[in-house]
Amino acid sequence: MTDIKTISQEINVNPEEIIVDYRLVYHSRQVSLSLLGLASTINDLANRARDHQLKPAEVQGGKFTITNHGTSGSLFASPIINQPQAAILGIGVIEKRVVVIDDATAIRPMVYLSLTFDHRVLDGAISDYFLGQVVESLQNWA
């Protein structure tokens, strides 16, 4: 993948959480956050969303959403894009399953991921490459 086009100068990540009748969409402009830093920020925003204390700037302008439908116990979903976003990554519930590793069975935490994207904005090959990188990162978590 050598010819990747810049679609937006901003990088926005939108972890989405359904809170009763309120949807929290966080747009991170701090791309240097660690995973723990991002988790802490999301928890803070979720708490403020439950208390209806979010500012309009905190829920506008995203290009990519991460939705965790697994919190309701669902294995797989086909999330839809909220325009003007380019893509949405759905994450199902994490469950222990039996897998084969080097001709031996093992029990590992497994999750289904789904990526929905706007073909007018993203090519299928680039989107597939992105999802493959996400999978590889999760499989080789250190």
pLDDT tens, 50-67?
788 878 777 677 788 888
Indicate the pTM of the whole model: 0.65
Q: What is the pLDDT of residues 94-137, one digit of tens each?
A: 999 999 999 999 999 999 999 999 998 888 888 898 899 889 88
Q: Which residues pair with 17 in a beta bridge?
A: 24
Number of domains in the chain: 2
Distance CA 124, CA 140 (A): 24
Regarding whether 125 and 115 lie in a shared domain, the answer is yes
Residues 124 and 69 occupy one common structural domain:
yes
Is the residue at 138 inside a domain? yes
Whether residues 102 and 57 share a domain: the answer is no
Domain shared by 67 and 56, yes or no? no
- What per-residue confidence (pLDDT) applies to 95? 95
Q: Give yes or no: 119 in active site.
A: yes
3-state DSSP helix/strand/coil % of the chain, to nearest 5:
30, 25, 45
Of 21, 27, 119, 128, the catalytic one is 119
Q: Which of 24, 42, 62 is the last residue of a domain?
A: 62
- Asked if residue 79 and residue 54 are part of one domain, the reply reads no
Residue 43 falls inside a structural domain: yes
Mark whether 57 and 98 lie in a shared domain. no
Q: How crowded is residue 27: how many other Cβ atoms within 10 Å of its Cβ? A: 20
For the purposes of burial, counting CB atoms within 10 Å of the CB of 116, is it exposed (0-12), middle (13-18) or buried (19 or more)? Answer: middle
91 and 138 share a domain?
yes
Is 52 an active-site residue?
no
Does some domain include residue 141? yes
pLDDT tens digits along 5-54: 444 444 444 444 433 333 445 555 555 667 677 778 778 877 887 788 87
Domain containing 55 equals: 10-62
80 and 139 fall within a common domain: yes
